[in-house]
Amino acid sequence: MTNILIVEDELPISRVLKAYLEKHQFCVEQAFNGDEAQRKFDSFNPALVLLDVMLPGRSGWSILEYIRSKSSCPVIMLTALGHIDNKLTGLNQGADDYITKPFIADEVVARVKAVLRRSKQIIEGDQVKQFGSLKIDFKAYTVTLHGVELAFTPKDLSLFLFLAQYKNQTFTREQLIEQVWGMDYEGSDRAVDLAIKRIRRSLENWPASEGEIRTYRGLGYKLCVYE
């Protein structure tokens, strides 16, 4: 069974989500404040975290930062803060999806399944690929260049791993948004351009003779690998 950690201080909401997820054969653990969330994340090893923003003690943003400091575990934010700026904050800090309260429990289950599918797609196939001096470990969620691990934001890393999984294939901005940010992303597709710019900066020492991320005007992006 797939482990899901629900971090939600409102007991009725947590109980409903737990019941619906267990109905769909997930193994569920609950936490009701930030400190408990951190302890249970470390001990329960969840495949996905449903994380409320407004928590007693440590906030959901703090817990998200803690999770991202040590894991690529998918995180879906749950919050009553529905303004687009709050959503962008969550996504830019490494959340994989963002659900505004009030919500329908069936929708949450559907979002959980969708995020888990996207996460699984990234690591399907070869677990390690070597493109010259660039090594990509899809299971460990790491990219090393000349033996040194590169630092990416979680979303940039997800985007690069997706392009690497489907090397030498061109994807439009819309396709990349759907695969990496999710179909319900409400921000601008400029997020893709900015992420690509940051990724290229991280790869600046990757020899051009081995590969590059190419822009196809009017089409999209491709990770070209010269083998």
Tell me which fold the domain 151-223 belongs to. Arc Repressor Mutant, subunit A (1.10.10)
For residue 132, give every residue at least 6 positions away whose Cβ sits within 8 Å of its Cβ, in sequence order, or none: 206, 207, 209, 210, 211
In the predicted model, is pLDDT for residue 19 greater than 60?
A: yes
User: What's the whole-number mean pLDDT along residues 31-48?
Assistant: 92
Is 1-117 assigned to CATH 3.40.1390.20? no
In the predicted model, is pLDDT for residue 59 greater than 90?
A: no
For residue 152, give every residue at least 6 positions away whose Cβ sits within 8 Å of its Cβ, in sequence order, or none: 143, 160, 198, 199, 202
In the predicted model, is pLDDT for residue 214 greater than 80?
A: yes
Residue 85 has phi, psi (to 5 degrees) of -65, -35
Map out the domains of the chain as residue ranges.
Answer: 1-117, 151-223
Using N-to-C axis directions, what is the helix angle for 190-202 and 154-165, rounded to 10°?
80
Q: What is the pLDDT of residues 118-145, one digit of tens each?
A: 766 555 555 788 999 999 988 778 899 9
